[in-house]
């Protein structure tokens, strides 16, 4: 599969390219929106990773032009985390949105999820009777939907995408609430407690890492 990486910062393109190629993807690059349009329309692209703020033509305008001709799955990158940017992107038809700075491993995981979704395969996580449907944004246990807050859901999805990785409270705050959030460790601890209560019998999947944060660990059957 060929992925088009669009960003005006060469270092970011190189890092993304390295991680994607390590996973077997072919990568082509563009440094601005105009170049992205040209390459997307001329080449057979499976997915686009598009930065928003770029010279000559921004990512939103480039996507709008590309989508007139081709329906290519797209993940937007942005140094900003405003809700308006996300809503505008989703209104345009993008598939996912990730805020800089980001984990390259997380980006690769999101690439796989978007491509899997586009292939028609079910995009869900299943562990025993616990099912998280990423498309429907639902959590069910024993076929009964569990009501959670948006932040609880985002926390669980982030844990699932980072299984067996110890995550600090600061990392969780930055990834779920954003780098401009002025909360503290109690915000994370409170939401973890709520999420554990919501998960019931599966509460022990979220393990406390003493002095650091939390880890999502699947028990061996």
What pLDDT is stored for residue 194 in this prediction? 95
**Could you state, in chain order, the average pLDDT of each consecutive group of 10 residues for the chain (221 residues)?**
94 95 92 95 92 90 91 86 71 85 90 74 78 86 92 91 90 77 75 95 95 88 48
Domain with CATH 1.10.10.10 in the chain: 124-216
What pLDDT is stored for residue 100 in this prediction? 86
What pLDDT is stored for residue 113 in this prediction? 84
Q: Residue 152 to residues 41, 141, 174: CA-CA distances in angstroms?
A: 39, 15, 15
What pLDDT is stored for residue 87 in this prediction? 77
Q: Are 134 and 157 in contact (CB under 8 A)?
A: yes
What pLDDT is stored for residue 93 in this prediction? 83
Q: What are phi and psi of 97, to 5 degrees?
A: -145, 130
Of the candidate CATH numbers 1.20.1050.10, 1.10.10.10, 3.40.50.720, 3.30.230.10, the domain formed by 124-216 belongs to: 1.10.10.10
Name the H helices within 81-184.
Answer: 83-92, 104-118, 150-161, 169-172
What pLDDT is stored for residue 182 in this prediction? 59
Q: Residue 147 to residues 33, 39, 125, 128: CA-CA distances in angstroms?
A: 41, 44, 17, 19
Angle between helix axes 150-161 and 185-199 (nearest 10 degrees) is 90
CA atoms of 47 and 187, how far apart (whole Å) = 35
SS3 state at 45: coil
CA atoms of 102 and 77, how far apart (whole Å) = 9
* Residues 2-118, CATH architecture: 3-Layer(aba) Sandwich (3.40)
CA atoms of 144 and 63, how far apart (whole Å) = 39
Domain with CATH 3.40.50.2300 in the chain: 2-118
H or E element, residue 49: strand 47-51
Residue 142: CB partners within 8 Å, gap ≥ 6? 129
């Amino acid at each position: 599969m060929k992925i088009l990486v669009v960003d005006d910062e060469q270092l970011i393109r190189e890092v993304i390219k390295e991680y994607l190629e390590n996973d077997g993807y072919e990568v082509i690059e563009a440094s601005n929106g105009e170049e992205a349009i040209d390459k997307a329309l001329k080449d057979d692209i499976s997915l686009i990773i598009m930065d928003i703020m770029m010279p000559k033509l921004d990512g939103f305008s480039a996507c709008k032009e590309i989508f007139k001709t081709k329906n290519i799955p797209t993940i937007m990158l942005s140094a900003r985390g405003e809700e308006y940017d996300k809503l505008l992107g989703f209104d345009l038809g993008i598939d996912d949105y990730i805020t800089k700075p980001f984990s390259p491993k997380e980006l690769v995981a999101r690439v796989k999820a978007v491509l899997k979704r586009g292939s028609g395969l079910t995009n869900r996580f299943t562990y025993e009777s616990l099912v998280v449907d990423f498309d429907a944004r639902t959590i069910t246990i024993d076929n009964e939907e569990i009501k959670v807050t948006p932040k609880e859901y985002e926390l669980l999805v982030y844990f699932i995408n980072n299984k067996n990785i110890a995550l600090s409270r600061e990392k969780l705050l930055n990834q779920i609430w954003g780098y401009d959030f002025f909360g503290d460790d109690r915000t994370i601890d409170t939401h973890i407690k709520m999420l554990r209560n919501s998960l019931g019998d599966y509460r022990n999947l979220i393990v406390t890492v003493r002095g650091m944060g939390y880890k999502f660990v699947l028990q061996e059957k």
